[in-house]
Amino acid sequence: MRKKFIFYGQVQGVGFRFRVMMLAKKFDIFGWIENNHDRSVTLVAEGLEENIESLVDRLKDYFQNNIENIKESIEKDEGLIDFEIK
């Protein structure tokens, strides 16, 4: 499964991308994460649905005071084999 998330709020400059990368490796998720010009952050995650949901749940817990909103969509798998910070 592949999902795209856009996180809104105070998600830049707080270690958000690094935390996502660490969790992605823990949950065997591939994809990428990058800062956007509007101060949001985009995450593309490929892996088991329950692992992706666990990653997002952990982010919601850890950054509960930073995340104001999350936009989520399902995308076509690309067969990614790594996770990177862009």
| Nearest by Cα to 24 from 73, 86, 83, 78 | 83
Confidence band, pLDDT 50/70/90 cuts, at residue 63: very high
Say which of 17, 39, 65, 69 is annotated catalytic.
Answer: 17
Q: Per the residue annotation, which of 2, 19, 35, 66 is the catalytic one? A: 35
How many Cβ atoms sit within 10 Å of the Cβ of residue 49?
Answer: 12
Q: What is the pLDDT of residue 56?
A: 97
Is 39 among the catalytic positions? Answer: no
Instruction: Determine the Cα–Cα distance for residues 86 and 80; give it in Å rounded to an integer.
Output: 15
CATH of domain 2-75: 3.30.70.100
Question: Both tokens of residue 82?
Answer: 């790594």
10-53: pLDDT as tens digits = 999 999 999 999 999 999 999 999 999 999 999 999 999 999 99
The pTM for the full model equals 0.95
Predicted pLDDT at 35: 98
CA 74 to chain centre: 13
Q: Does residue 2 carry a catalytic annotation?
A: no
Residue 68 DSSP SS3 = strand
What pLDDT sits at residue 8?
98
What integer pLDDT is reported at residue 40 of this predicted model?
98
